[in-house]
């Protein structure tokens, strides 16, 4: 490219160079599952590139400085690694306690110093910078319902909420869920705070599943992921049918992550979710359950839950046939919600079992990163030959 390229073109190139796919994407779920959304590596890699490019010249440095602190872990603010003043510039904030710190000042002190500091930082920033133009679009983690309420003024800009207790999200939708008395749709519409919230990943759904939500409360909601702790009692199918009956038609993604059921799917779910393109269900179902013309394209498979639930090799094949609906008549794409790296090294027999099951049925299967087993093996071979000092017993971590 000519050195006389316009400033606008250079800005476009620089923005492309520091872009962070998926992690800062507000429509990530169409391409990947929720687990990969918490994978921070692409962000820190982009930050290394940004810092390198800033050293090229003063003009680049000035331009790229505008992209400081796109993602902030509140844990870093508490530990004074990131200044409090940076919070309004973050597109994504993570409220989770990282938990692997041995510092005496906050994490290993007597009493609740860490959480007191968390309150000072989080509530302090929301109050101190309440008139600032915050850029926050994505929030991960929940710091107690009473503290999340203070986020209210920023909610109109929120596009994604990850790992949230349902009570918090209800509060933003302005539903009086605690008393089982949802506001009428008309009133809710006028009070709706979460107008742009398109993706919700909900944990700890509790009994509020027994009431319905309406499109008036979450007019932009398209992607709903419900993660239920395997220690909890399963929901009855009618409970989440009730929960979804109004919001269901606007959803494009519905992932209900729970341990495997042997219960058959109530096929009326398909009429409650007539536009869903990506689904995860814990129930036993077949492709013939889906009405003709339904737009479903992608099925997420909770492979490791099959592994946990059916712990004998002899039962894996039958479990897969019950919980991974395959058919040559209807081609769907399948994605596991863990990485090959994890399953292949932790459970090699099951990995090969699930791979051969999909291969025998001529169905496409990828992992949480979007790789087929072949692609992952090629990646491993390349990585192996690139190592200057190769070792033969290195076991990769979860991701």
Binding region for Zn ion (CB under 5 A): 101, 103, 106-107
C-alpha angle 121-123-124 in degrees, rounded to nearest 5: 60
Rounded to the nearest whole angstrom, what is the least distance from the CB of residue 46 to Zn ion in the complex?
25
| Nearest in space to 351 (alpha carbons), one of 379, 372, 331, 330 | 372
Q: How far is the CB of 230 from Zn ion (least distance, A)?
A: 30
Q: How far apart are CA 272 and CA 262, in angstroms?
A: 22
Gyration radius from the chain CA atoms: 23
* CB of 111 vs Zn ion, minimal distance in Å: 14
In terms of CB distance, is 107 or 352 closer to Zn ion? 107
Q: How far is CA 239 from CA 209, 210, 234, 269, in A?
A: 6, 5, 10, 11
* Spatial contact of 35 and 338, defined as CB atoms under 8 Å apart: yes
> Considering beta carbons, is residue 106 or 170 the nearer one to Zn ion?
106
Q: Give least dist CB 105 to Zn ion, A.
A: 7
Helix axes 41-54 and 7-17, enclosed angle (nearest 10): 140
Beta bridge pairs of residue 200: 161, 224
Kindly tell me which of 104 and 207 has the beta carbon lying closer to Zn ion.
104
Closer residue to Zn ion in complex, CB, 103/187: 103
Residues 6+ apart with CB under 8 A from 351: 340, 343, 344, 373
The CB-of-341 to Zn ion minimum distance in angstroms stands at 29
Q: Could you tell me the CA-to-CA distances from 125 to 105, 134, 144, 251 in Å, in that order?
A: 21, 11, 16, 34
Question: Minimum distance between the CB of residue 103 and Zn ion, rounded to whole angstroms?
Answer: 3
Q: Which is nearer to Zn ion, 13 or 103 (by Cβ)?
A: 103
Closest to Zn ion by CB, 81 vs 149, is 81
């Amino acid at each position: 490219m000519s050195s006389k390229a316009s400033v606008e073109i250079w800005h476009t190139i620089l923005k492309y160079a520091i872009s962070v796919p998926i992690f800062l994407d507000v429509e990530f779920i169409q391409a990947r599952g929720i687990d990969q959304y918490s994978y921070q590596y692409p962000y820190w890699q982009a930050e290394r590139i940004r810092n390198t490019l800033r050293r090229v010249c003063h003009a680049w440095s000035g331009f790229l400085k505008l992209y400081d602190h796109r993602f902030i872990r509140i844990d870093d603010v508490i530990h004074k690694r990131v200044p409090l003043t940076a919070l309004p510039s973050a597109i994504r904030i993570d409220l989770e306690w990282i938990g692997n710190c041995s510092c005496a000042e906050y994490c290993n002190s007597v009493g609740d110093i860490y959480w007191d500091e968390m309150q000072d930082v989080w509530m302090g920033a929301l109050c101190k910078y309440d008139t600032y133009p915050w850029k926050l679009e994505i929030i991960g983690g929940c710091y107690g319902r009473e503290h999340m309420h203070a986020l209210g003024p920023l909610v109109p800009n929120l596009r994604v909420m990850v790992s949230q207790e349902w009570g918090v999200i209800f509060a933003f939708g302005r539903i009086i869920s605690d008393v089982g008395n949802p506001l009428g749709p008309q009133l809710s519409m006028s009070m709706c705070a979460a107008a742009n919230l398109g993706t919700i990943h909900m944990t700890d759904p509790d009994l509020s599943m027994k009431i319905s939500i309406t499109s008036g409360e979450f007019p932009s909601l398209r992607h709903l992921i419900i993660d239920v702790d395997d220690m909890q009692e399963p929901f009855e199918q009618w409970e989440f049918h009730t929960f979804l009956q109004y919001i269901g038609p606007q959803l494009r993604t519905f992932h209900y992550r729970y341990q495997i059921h042997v219960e058959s799917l109530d096929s009326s779910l398909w009429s409650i979710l007539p536009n869903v393109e990506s689904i995860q269900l814990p129930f036993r179902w077949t492709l013939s359950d889906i009405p003709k013309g339904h737009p479903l394209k992608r099925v997420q498979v909770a492979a490791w839950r099959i592994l946990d639930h059916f712990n004998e090799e002899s039962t894996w094949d039958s479990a897969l046939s019950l919980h991974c609906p395959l058919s040559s008549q209807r081609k769907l794409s399948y994605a596991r919600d863990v990485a090959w790296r994890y399953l292949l090294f932790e459970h090699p027999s099951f990995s090969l079992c699930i791979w051969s099951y999909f291969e025998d049925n001529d169905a496409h299967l990828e992992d949480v990163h979007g790789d087929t087993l072949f692609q992952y093996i090629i990646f491993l071979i390349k990585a192996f030959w690139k190592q200057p000092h190769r070792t033969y017993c290195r076991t990769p971590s979860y991701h």
